[in-house]
Structure 1
Amino acid sequence: MGLFKKKIVKKTYEREHMKPVIRASICNGEEVAGFKDIRTGKIEEIMLIRS
């Protein structure tokens, strides 16, 4: 029936100011994909990588 559909949100990023990165934790091996702002150094997390 499809009452609850997964919403797909497309995000764009400024290629001049941001670069794609993967941040990995040393203690538990968790990996997160996102974009790093070159000017400020902040990472905007997009998704968790499970496997």
Structure 2
Amino acid sequence: MVNMVQPFWILPVLAISGLKLRDVMGYMVLILIYLGIIYASAILIWGYLGA
């Protein structure tokens, strides 16, 4: 999930495609929130089950 906060992996892709980071950062934030909810839910369920 850290790659969604600091998407340095996407810089070469942006250079090749001609896009700017501002064009894709909104999508990255949405994915970060979505995966954060899934991750937090999994941790809570894991703690509840006592695994």
Give 1 or 2: higher strand fraction: 1
Higher helix content, 1 or 2:
2
> How would you bin the TM-score normalised by the shorter chain?
under 0.3
Q: Which of 1 and 2 has higher RCO (CA within 8 Å, sep 6+)?
A: 2
